[in-house]
Amino acid sequence: MNEKDHKVSRRQFLTYTLTGVGGFMAAGMIMPMARFALDPALKAGAASDNVYVCDVADLTEEPQLFEFQFDQVDAWYESTISRNAYIYIQGNEVTALSPTCTHLGCTVAFGTNAEHPDRFYCPCHFGMFDHHGINIAGTPPQRPLDVYEVTVEDGKVYLGQITQRT
């Protein structure tokens, strides 16, 4: 190989130089934009903590409706969310049910149906659930009401994630 074989032509030199400078400039512009777009989603703390809802002393064996709020950070937005839960106690066990009908999402109410005062009733399509939120056969809902994760500490009831039952 002679020295002439290793020489870079003027055209090649310009191509390499412009490609390198162009790539460097593009990376300098894209990196801050990508960081700006992704940063909130990558931050820790997306999972919500348990929320205080009521005292155990407030509970009865009959499901009662409690409203509670919590702050939610959803990537770019911070907001206060309101939720409801039917909560009851049997022995030492506290159960919290979602009031959202598992048929098509209407809101159920406990004890409002005169013929079945011990059931949850959904007025949209006459769906029914028993005291524990189990769907009554022959009515439209095909699965029980969802349940909240319940934590009891120092006589206080905290609700966490909601879970679907089958």
146 and 163 Cβ atoms separated by less than 8 Å: yes
| Residue 68 or 120 with smaller CB distance to ligand FES | 120
Least separation in angstroms between residue 48's CB and ligand FES is 26
The count of chain residues that interact with ligand FES, using the rule CB under 6 A, is: 11
**Nearest position to ligand FES, beta carbon:** 127
CB neighbour list of residue 22: distance below 8 Å, 6 or more residues apart: none
Q: State the first-to-last Cα distance of the chain, in angstroms, to the nearest integer.
A: 76
Neighbours of 111 (CB within 10 A): 15
Estimate to the nearest angstrom the gap between the alpha carbon of 106 and the chain centroid. Answer: 19
Q: Mask: binding to ligand FES, 57-96, rule CB under 6 A, as x and -?
A: ----------------------------------------
Residue 61 Cβ, how far from ligand FES at the closest point, in Å?
Answer: 24
Check if the beta carbon of residue 53 is closer than 8 Å to that of residue 159. Answer: yes
Distance separating alpha carbons of residues 94 and 96, to the nearest angstrom: 7
Residues 96-155 contacting ligand FES, CB under 6 A: 101, 103-106, 122, 124-125, 127, 140-141
Binding footprint of ligand FES on the chain (CB under 6 A): 101, 103-106, 122, 124-125, 127, 140-141
